[in-house]
């Protein structure tokens, strides 16, 4: 039997799972679906790597919104909700937008300096720099041929895009985990070459004392995001999980202002 159930459900990736219910459909939801949804989400996040579960936890909650039970699979749709929700408003489609006030001294863009190279980074990378005293990427998301390189941009706009739009979910800027952009002397970098025109790189640790400017990317609006986790049913019993894969998804969009901190 194919059917849809719409519910409001809070599922976090912490061991102590907190759940709230707000049924809009009079048909009861079998608790087995709730248990399977939570288990499937955890398995999916774990399969994405340890940093996915660890770094997504302080940024987002996952609200189970839709269950689509089919003959051979069940699809669970989760809303991606920032931990710090700010003020919630709704767009024309009824999707939530989480809005925040901006610091009075905030700016909208960084004036480019041709003598500098810029790097967009997560809050976690910034904390690493402050703790260890140097800049060096782990290179988890570098392309082939970029192993061991810390990548830089010749302009702040490109660095900003890598600090927000072109970054994995677990490193996206949220109000309690803002991303960063830092600038160092361009003379410390090397051109990436023909394979990556316009990019720069360093292949040695750069002491943090070389940072000339540092900006915090503070979200003023975070849009609707969702993720669909598909469970292929087993043959031994109803709640057996044979396999899990990701279905459709939507990464939350972020509008931000900048606050210079160095």
Tell me, what's the pLDDT at 205? 93
Tell me, what's the pLDDT at 8? 56
Tell me, what's the pLDDT at 143? 45
Tell me, what's the pLDDT at 194? 56
Tell me, what's the pLDDT at 50? 67
Tell me, what's the pLDDT at 19? 39
For the chain, which domains are there?
A: 3-100+221-260 (no CATH), 116-219 (3.20.170.20)
Tell me, what's the pLDDT at 142? 46
Q: From the first residue on, what is the mean pLDDT of each consecutive set of 10 residues in the chain (262 residues)?
A: 49 44 57 86 81 82 85 88 92 92 94 97 92 82 57 94 83 92 97 74 94 96 94 80 90 95 92
Tell me, what's the pLDDT at 196? 65
Tell me, what's the pLDDT at 3? 42
**Cα angle: 63, vertex 13, 56; to 5 degrees:** 90
Measured distance CA(225)–CA(130) in Å, rounded? 31
Tell me, what's the pLDDT at 17? 38
């Amino acid at each position: 039997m194919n059917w849809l159930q719409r519910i409001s459900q809070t599922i976090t990736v912490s061991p102590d799972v907190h759940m709230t219910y707000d049924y809009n459909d009079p048909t009861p939801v079998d608790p087995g679906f709730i248990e399977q949804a939570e288990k499937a989400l955890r398995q999916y996040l774990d399969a994405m790597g340890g940093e996915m579960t660890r770094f997504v936890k302080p940024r987002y909650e996952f609200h189970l919104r839709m269950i689509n039970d089919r003959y051979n699979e069940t699809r669970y749709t989760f809303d991606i909700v920032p931990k710090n929700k700010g003020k919630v408003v709704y767009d024309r489609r009824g999707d939530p937008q989480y809005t925040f006030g901006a610091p009075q001294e905030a700016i909208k863009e960084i004036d480019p300096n041709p003598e500098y190279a810029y790097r967009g980074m997560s809050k976690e990378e910034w904390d690493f720099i402050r703790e260890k005293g140097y800049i060096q990427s782990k290179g988890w998301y570098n392309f082939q041929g970029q192993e061991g390189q810390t990548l830089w941009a010749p302009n702040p706009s490109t660095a900003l895009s890598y600090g927000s739009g072109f970054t994995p979910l677990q490193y996206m800027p949220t109000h309690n985990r803002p991303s960063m952009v830092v600038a160092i002397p361009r003379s410390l970098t090397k051109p990436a070459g023909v394979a990556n025109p316009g990019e720069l790189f360093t292949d040695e640790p750069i002491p943090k004392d070389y940072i000339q400017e540092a900006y915090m990317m503070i979200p003023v609006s975070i849009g609707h995001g969702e993720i669909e986790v598909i469970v292929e049913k087993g043959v031994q019993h109803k709640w057996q999980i044979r396999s899990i894969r990701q279905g459709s998804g939507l990464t939350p969009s972020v509008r931000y202002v900048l606050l210079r901190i160095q």
